Structure 1
Amino acid sequence: MAVDMDDFWVFGYGSLMWNPGFEFQEKMTARAFGYRRSLCVRSWVHRGTQEKPGLVLGLDHGGSCLGMAFRIEASQKDAVIDYLRERELVTHVYKERTMPVKLADGRRTSALTYVIDRAHVQYAGALSVEAAAEIVAGAVGKSGANPDYVLNTLSHLKDMGIRDHWLEEVARLLPQAAVQR
């Protein structure tokens, strides 16, 4: 089953899933292949500082990612792209990509999304659960404490019926990591 090739879709894997910030015609769980949700972005502003960075989500190579796809009305495409570029490309740690996704109802389409730039200085790489928990436990930025970001993300994922076992394990270790600080 295919979608109309003129349809424009956006794929979200983090806060975009529950706070898209744009109007959409349709919203559906979707899976992107070849990338996974990962706490791999050093946050220097919102969840940490340059001296003590936090971690936020990126879409990194490997595996697959269950997220949310949004179908955008054709007349809104340019405005949505402009909005997303302003939101996601502040420090250019992400690269804008169009990738295939499989929608929950079996349809396949392409969707605009933002993947991590592994060459960017803010890329944290593949961290162990323990290392990620330790970084998150002690970071605070202008948008608040980094642990709150992780726990809020997991709460929203749970509400959408999406499990992220690695992120759940990071959250499980946060109290222990905070005590060790």
Structure 2
Amino acid sequence: MKVFNNIYLIGMMGSGKSSISKLLSHEINFKVREMDEMIEEKFGKTINDIFNEFGESEFRIVESLVLNSLNQEKMCIISTGGGVILENDFNKIKKSNAVIYLKYSPKYLFLNLNKSISNRPLLDEENLLNKINDLYKKRNLLYKRASNIVIDCDGKNLEDIKIEILNIITVQK
């Protein structure tokens, strides 16, 4: 088993990255670092407001800066934003960290996202399933390439996913 310094959770919006990071934190005593929260603090605005005011490209620049700063930390579980893989090369990050892709099919993502659509800047209620399918087609391969661990999450509860991750990883304490 490989020993990891940090754990990065990647995947589509609605894949449970924030929830899983908190569950894992209780088990391995790592700090939880929420990238979207860090970006909101830097701007003093919500992610939706940042997208609306500055656009996605400006958001991605700040996201990359935050990701690079987090890579200097140790003993963290980093919950990334869904689009972090669009502008960032995870090859360096994968060398000493677990980069875990929480993989859900579009059908399960639809069920998860249908509850919290109002705070998702790239989605709205109209044609939600089609938009999820489109994003999934664009990003699925990128998530696979960026990760060194893939967890198939369809039909699993958060506790099952947490246990599966704990069975795979070993962390440096």
Query: TM-score, normalised on structure 1?
Result: 0.27
Instruction: Identify the structure with bigger relative contact order (alpha carbons < 8 Å, sequence gap 6+).
Output: 2
Higher share of residues assigned helix: 2
Higher share of residues assigned strand: 1
Larger Rg: 1
